[in-house]
Amino acid sequence: MIFCVAIDGPAAAGKGTISKAVAAYFGFAHLDTGLLYRAVGKRVLDGLDPVAAARTLTAQDLEAGDLRTSAVAQAASKVAVIAEVRAALVTFQREFARREGGAVLDGRDIGTVICPDADAKLFVTASAETRAARRFKELSGKGQPDTYDQVLADVKARDARDAGRAEAPMVAAEDAALLDTSTLSIEEAVAQAIAIVEKSRSSAL
């Protein structure tokens, strides 16, 4: 059985949590595609050329412990603008999407570029302030020193870069279901996402 769920949206809207929960519920594999860009961004911070870093990315690079910092997130958003970097990561993502047993991919361009024929598409959003508050809580929990205002500025800068780039900009696919998590609990957001995927699954059966 091949079934691809594409989940896109801006930073800290809840994509990661929702994607993991949807994958667990349906027994699908999950790929956080942001991690690929973060791993490339990290290698660039370590001194590599972005295109070379993307072309020689290994599974080990994805396991680097410090990919969740603000500095790596900004570096990821910057390398993600480069067409050759994106091109180097396409095949891996498309093969993952077609794996037997079903797959959930989350990112910015899954429903538009990576899997335009995905069986279910969601675009998960929330206000910049809500997202910054969530990310601030997460980063402070890890002892990272960013202030709320810094996190909000980072979120807005990333939104602008991710949505404004020429290559595969972050945008909801025309046929994506919109899920605004601003006023939803995690449980409510997950339940709504599962219901959306379930609907596509029963029409695909």
Catalog residues that contact ligand DC under the rule CB under 6 A: 11, 33-34, 37-38, 73, 76-77, 80, 107-109, 158, 162
CB of 57 to ligand DC, least distance (A): 13
Of 14 and 34, which CB lies nearer to ligand DC in the complex structure?
Answer: 34
180: enclosing H helix or E strand? strand 177-180
Of 105 and 197, which CB lies nearer to ligand DC in the complex structure?
Answer: 105
Whether 32 contacts 67, CB under 8 Å: no
* Token pair in block for residue 173: 């696919």
Residue 89: name the closest of 63, 68, 110, 116 by CA.
110
CB of 77 to ligand DC, least distance (A): 3
CB of 205 to ligand DC, least distance (A): 28
Residues with Cβ < 8 Å from 123, sequence gap 6 or more? Answer: 8, 9, 111, 172, 173, 176, 177, 178, 179
Of 20 and 198, which CB lies nearer to ligand DC in the complex structure?
Answer: 20
Of 38 and 121, which CB lies nearer to ligand DC in the complex structure?
Answer: 38
CB of 203 to ligand DC, least distance (A): 26
Q: Which ranges in 46-177 belong to alpha helices (H)?
A: 50-55, 59-62, 70-79, 83-97, 128-141, 148-164
CB of 101 to ligand DC, least distance (A): 22
Residue 99: phi, psi to the nearest 5? -70, 150
Of 30 and 38, which CB lies nearer to ligand DC in the complex structure?
Answer: 38
Residue 37: name the closest of 87, 1, 2 by CA.
87
103: β partners:
4, 29
